[in-house]
């Protein structure tokens, strides 16, 4: 189950990253979630990281927790940088807006929840 969740999230992130390169009203330059090339590439890389972790339950769980922690950190830094409604560059690298910050926070919670979907057992190896 947890490997399927990691694959699900990985595919979603890769798809959203690719969608950012195609004109659409949801994600990309001047879209609802305002992203740039670096932001789209980050989605793709984090998605591929999750896909790679689907080899074992332990890797999948760790991948979900690590990417969840990254998204939580991005949300905190984003709120500190641009707040609820502003726009700017996170760490001078990727373009974000206030809606991105809220989405990053929701994604972090969802990834942590997905990571908790499979309890760790003492017989499980990475």
2, pLDDT greater than 50: yes
- Which tokens go with 14? 């890769």
pLDDT value of residue 93: 84
pLDDT in tens, 78-94: 999 877 777 788 778 88
Distance between CA atoms of 68 and 120, rounded to whole angstroms?
17
Please report, for residues 51, 98, 116, the alpha-carbon distance to residue 86 in angstroms, rounded to integers and kept in the order given. 32, 5, 33
pLDDT band at 125 (very low <50, low <70, confident <90, very high): low
Of 82, 106, 70, 91, the residue nearest 34 (C-alpha)? 82
| 107 Cβ contact partners less than 8 Å away, ≥ 6 residues apart | 68, 71
Q: What is the DSSP letter of 90?
A: E
**Could you report how far apart the first and last alpha carbons of the chain are, in Å?**
16
pLDDT digits (tens, 9 = 90+) for 11-68: 999 999 999 999 999 998 889 998 899 999 999 999 999 999 999 999 999 999 999 9
């Amino acid at each position: 189950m947890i490997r399927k969740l990691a694959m699900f999230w990985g595919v979603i992130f890769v798809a959203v990253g690719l969608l950012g390169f195609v004109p659409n009203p949801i994600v990309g330059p001047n879209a609802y979630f305002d992203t740039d090339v670096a932001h789209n590439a980050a989605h793709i890389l984090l998605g591929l990281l999750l896909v790679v972790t689907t080899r074992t339950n332990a890797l999948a769980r760790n991948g979900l927790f690590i990417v969840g922690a990254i998204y939580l950190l991005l949300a905190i830094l984003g709120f500190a940088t641009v707040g609820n409604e502003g726009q700017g560059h996170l760490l001078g690298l990727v373009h974000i807006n206030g809606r991105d910050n809220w989405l990053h926070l929701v994604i972090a919670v969802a990834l942590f929840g997905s990571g908790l979907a499979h309890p760790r057992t003492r017989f499980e190896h990475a």
